[in-house]
Amino acid sequence: MSKSVVIYGGGIAGAALATQLAKHANVKLVSSLDYFEVPMAMPRVAVQPDYAHQAVMPFQSFLKGVDFIHGKLERFTGETGHVVGVDGAEHTLEADISILATGSRYPSELIRPTSGSTTERHAAFKSTHGAIESAQKILLVGGGPVGIEMAGEITERFPQKSVVLVESSGEVLKGTSRKTANHAIKVLQQRGVKFMLGERVLSPAPSALQNAEAGQAKLSSGAVVDYDLIIWCVGGKPNTDYMQQDLSHLLDARGYIAVDETFRMKGQSNVFVLGDIAGIDEVKKALYVRGHVKTVAHNVLQLLKNPQAKLKSYKPKTNDNMMVVTLGSQTGVSDVPPIGTVKASWFTRMAKAKTMLVPMYRKALGASAKV
């Protein structure tokens, strides 16, 4: 176990790789959060904050044999990572293999905070639940899976609420078929959700949910929407600022990192990049990350044994409509190639809606079934 691996990022990719590689190398995991959170569970926890005890897992509760550093990657040179800990301590990290899995950053801290502790995350969910509970008019901004599923959770739990969803493009759920997306819209409209598509929110500017106050949203058409609570569910951007100083030439215009078909960073033999930040031709979906992890884990293990090893290639999932969309805990709609749109509530309930995949991730990471 003389070989060393440093993993930057503790999301789905980083946490899974740390768990798998700990048996084969000296592994360090760097994250600005001290916990792993099942990301697709966020809409459920927002309306059922006690579920955070299952969906939010402190690293210390399951990461065995991994050296955890609670801090932020400020600069990456290709050879070294410069990290500032939450305690202010500076770390210069080197390893036989470095893995970048820093994910996306979002306008709203509700979707994923940029830093913080397990305790703070629990408190944020309680605050969110209280804000939703006390609001009558709720405005959701963003028609991707998060916005649609948030609308589903709120209207199931609080059917008397007025919910408006604004999406800047002309359609919701872009990563799946129009038949699937239209069914989700139909179900939510039957619950009273009003959709305003092709509209951009000009003001207010995006903010963390905890700072939201009642007000008016001004839209690009000139329309005005009154709200008691606004929740930003817009998509994220790759969290790759640490590349700017030394490796900016490897970033495309949107901030994704150039990789080859094995997930190695272009021009680097011992640096892997996966998840949301990898510059590959596929829609960013959590369900694809399993394939990323499988490929990178295999390749890292091969390199640890033999620096000249032949590595496995990954085939991007282009033009794939696969998506499971929950509309509360009891129903939803799924797109399952080659079958197509599956409207049966029982299917989506068993596939995702019942648990939001929390038990599956707890098991995969070696966490106890329940706390």
- Summarised one tens digit per residue, pLDDT across range 282-309 is 988 898 999 999 999 999 999 999 999 9
Domain membership of residue 191 (yes or no) is no
pLDDT, tens only, 45-103: 999 999 999 999 999 999 999 999 999 999 999 999 999 999 999 999 999 999 999 99
Please, where are the H alpha helices in the chain?
Answer: 12-21, 42-47, 52-55, 118-134, 145-157, 178-190, 244-247, 286-305, 345-348, 358-364
pLDDT surpasses 80 at 209:
no
Q: Which domain holds residue 71?
A: 4-109+236-305
The proportion of the chain whose per-residue pLDDT surpasses 90, expressed as a percent, equals: 92
Burial string for 245-263 (b: 16+ CB within 10 Å, else e) reads eebeebbeeebbbbbeebb
pLDDT tens figures, 248-285: 999 999 999 999 999 999 999 999 999 999 999 998 88
What is the rounded CA–CA span in Å between residue 287 and residue 291? 8
pLDDT number for residue 2: 84
Q: How many domains does the chain have?
A: 1
Place of tokens 């699937």: 180
Sheet (strand 201-203) strand order: 201-203, 215-219, 224-227
List pLDDT tens digits, range 17-34.
999 999 999 999 999 999
Q: Is residue 60 part of a domain?
A: yes
Q: Phi then psi for 291, rounded to 5 degrees?
A: -65, -40
Indicate whether 93 belongs to any domain: yes
Peptide bond into 338 cis (omega under 30): yes
CATH code for position 34: 3.50.50.60
Is position 293 within any domain?
yes
Average pLDDT (198-208) is: 88
What pLDDT shows up at residue 64?
Answer: 92
Structure tokens at 108: 């709203």
Decide if 274 is inside a domain: yes
